Amino acid sequence: MIKWLKLTLIVILILLLSYLLLWPKICPGITVESVKVKITFSDLSNIDLALQSFETDCKRFPTNKEGLKALLITPANTADWRGPYLTGGPCLASEPIDPWKNPYKYSTPGTSENKGCTIWSMGPDGKNGTADDIHYPIKFKEPINKQEIPQEPKTNWFLDNLLINIFSFICGIGLTFVCRFITQRYWQKQFKAIFGNDVVNPNGIYLAYSEFVFPSLIYDDSGKEIKWPYRKSIPVIPVSNELPNAFSISNPVSIAEIRAANYLSTLIGKYVKQPVFITSDIQIKDKVNLSFISFGGPGNNHKTNDIIINESNQLIHFDGFRQMTSVTSKKLILDKNVLINNYDYGLILKIRPNQYPNRTWIMCAGFGEWGTSGAAYYLANNWKDIYKWAKNSNFAIIIKVRHGQDESAEKWKRVLTIEEVEALTK
């Protein structure tokens, strides 16, 4: 996160510096005053058209006494007036004004070269007859001879376009980084609410699977000791007669818990880029000042048992077999048809331990192996919906999942309070 923030700030600084350096080339001569000058020409053009309409209707231009007000208010003794000829734009009250808040000037007849009338603005200084006045001559019953806006100086087309493309490219990169940073911060805020602050910190979060041991002696039906009790579910084709078809493992691991750990480690790696420690429950058995997600019931995972017996768990107790109870030891009434119809129950339980409230403990456990991996799959793929519902609160979610199909996991019941749990016992 810190690296992304630093990189984003650097990109923004480069973007601003490039903006300052390239602005004169990208938009040469563009200033507030130059924009006002262009607006003035546009206003004068509109007034020009209005005067032409007035002249067509009234067979004359307004007198100097009537001025440009004649375009807005009916002059005396003018029966054919069909105005107002100006609306919006440069109009204010009863006369047109320029961008510097001064009235536009009007004179008829026009200059010695123009027999109609002349309109102009006093320009930025607001004084009539100075060098910055902006004139717009109008000829009587002749095509309008508009004063052209000075053209921008010619520049190197290739260089200008190259600079514009470079500037656009930098803007695109900067915007991409900024959007990505904001998006990450948004999702990480919700992610921390579910999985705890450690999930985005160097402390990381532990994924604790259940560690088992192989019995020292196992015998077959004939009383012979079995030294290699494990077989491949899909046998490997032997390359020689000496390749064994049986195996011995000192500490076997549940394949369901491997699936569960894979779902959540993939999710965490996608959103936070922080270390995820996959470990056995035995390795962290005596550690409680850490955040973790445990897999399997309290009978086979020490960390799951830590969650169940912690005082902050005021929701559901689970014996790891076929029974869930409230904190008052009342059995939850489950749908027996779920288990009959080749389904399994799973439980997702999140708490913040009393002794370490800044840590987050989560368990994914099931009546059977598919309940465990199904619970982890549901958590990994529905954490955004869980956040909308639970925010930072402790919660419990009971899911049901079809055997052999973690993707079929769906919510059965979910609770946030003791009262909601008690309702499931009735």
Same domain, 170 and 86: no
Residue 94: CATH number of its domain: 3.30.700.10
Return the ∠ at Cα 36 (arms to 109 and 61), rounded to 5°: 20
Q: Which pLDDT does position 402 carry in this prediction?
A: 94
Question: Residue 84: is its pLDDT beyond 80?
Answer: yes
379 within domain boundaries: yes
At residue 190, the pLDDT reads: 86
Q: Is residue 143 part of a domain?
A: no
Q: How many CB atoms lie within 10 A of CB 378?
A: 25
Instruction: Report pLDDT digits (tens) over 212-232.
Output: 887 766 777 777 777 777 776
pLDDT-derived band at 74 (thresholds 50, 70, 90) equals confident
Same domain for 175 and 261, yes or no, is no
Peptide bond into 153 cis (omega under 30): no
Q: What was the pLDDT predicted at 229?
A: 73
Distance CA 296, CA 304 (A): 7
Check: CB of residue 294 under 8 Å from CB of residue 280. no
Task: Classify the phi-psi angles of 392: left when phi > 0, otherwise alpha if psi is within -120 to 50, otherwise beta.
Answer: alpha
Write out pLDDT tens, residues 156-188.
Answer: 555 556 666 676 777 777 777 777 777 777 777
Task: Give the angle subtended at the CA of 317 by the CAs of 314 and 319, to the nearest 5°.
Answer: 165
Q: Do 99 and 22 reside in the same domain of the chain?
A: no
* 259 and 389 housed in the same domain: yes
Q: Is the pLDDT of residue 42 over 70?
A: yes
The confidence score (pLDDT) of residue 347 equals 96
Looking at the predicted structure, is the pLDDT value of residue 27 above 60? no
CATH number of the domain enclosing 365: 3.30.379.10
Q: Spell out a b/e string for 323-342, using b for 16 or more CB atoms within 10 Å of the CB, else e.
A: ebebeeeeebebeeebbeee
Which range in 132-141, 187-196, 357-366 is most confidently predicted, on average pLDDT?
A: 357-366
pTM, two decimal places: 0.60
Lowest mean pLDDT among 15-24, 38-47, 143-152, 388-397: 143-152
Q: How far apart are CA 426 and CA 417, in angstroms?
A: 15
Residue 186: partners with Cβ closer than 8 Å, 6 or more residues away: none
Return the SS3 of 57: helix
| CA–CA gap between residue 309 and residue 226 (Å, rounded) | 38
Average pLDDT, the chain: 80
Residue 9, both tokens: 């700030």
Same-domain status, 126 and 185: no
In DSSP terms, 318 is beta-bridged to: 324
**Predicted confidence band of residue 147 (pLDDT cuts 50, 70, 90):** very low
74 and 207, same domain (yes or no):
no
| 183-187, 291-295, 351-355, range with the lowest pLDDT | 183-187
Q: What is the pLDDT of residues 272-281, one digit of tens each?
A: 777 789 999 9
Percent of the chain with pLDDT over 90: 33
pLDDT the model gives residue 138 = 54
**Which is higher by pLDDT, 282 or 248?**
282
User: According to the model, what pLDDT value does residue 86 have?
Assistant: 82
- List of residues 6+ apart from 409 with CB closer than 8 A: 346, 374, 375, 377, 378, 399, 400, 401
Q: Helix, strand, or coil here: 364?
A: strand
Q: Looking at the domain assignment, is residue 128 inside a domain?
A: yes
Q: Tell me the average pLDDT across 371-387.
A: 95
pLDDT at 236 > cutoff 70: no
For residues 133 and 231, membership in a common domain is answered with: no
Contacts 24+ apart (CB under 8 A), 177-186: 177/4, 177/7, 177/8, 177/11, 178/8, 178/11, 178/12, 180/4, 181/4, 181/5, 181/8, 184/1, 184/4, 184/271
- Please state the domain count of the chain: 3
Average pLDDT over residues 19-26: 58
Q: Are residues 277 and 160 in the same domain?
A: no
Tell me the residue ranges of DSSP E strands in 182-328. Answer: 205-209, 276-280, 292-295, 316-318, 324-326
| DSSP for 112-166, written as a single string | TT-SSEEEEE-TTTT-TTSTT-EEEEE-TTS---PPPPPPPPP--HHHHHHHHHH
Range ranked top by mean pLDDT from 85-99, 146-160, 231-245, 405-419 = 405-419
pLDDT grade, residue 136 (50/70/90)? confident
CA distance 294 to 422: 25
**Contact by Cβ (8 Å): 75, 66:** yes
| Residue 112 scores a pLDDT above 50 | no
Determine the Cα–Cα distance for residues 9 and 38; give it in Å rounded to an integer.
37
- β 205-209/292-295 pair status: parallel
Q: Of residues 399 and 84, which shows the higher confidence score?
A: 399
C-alpha radius of gyration, the chain, whole number:
40
Domain span at 102: 32-138
pLDDT greater than 50 at residue 148: no
Task: Using DSSP, state whether 44 is helix, strand or coil.
Answer: helix
Give the residue with greater pLDDT, 234 vs 400. 400
Q: What is the pLDDT of residue 245?
A: 64
Same domain, 67 and 161: no
145 is a domain residue: no
140 CB-near residues (< 8 Å, 6+ apart): 55, 61, 109, 110, 114, 115, 116, 117
Q: How far is CA 130 from CA 135, 140, 155, 358, in A?
A: 11, 26, 31, 74
Q: Give me the pLDDT at residue 351, please.
A: 96
Same domain, 165 and 207: no
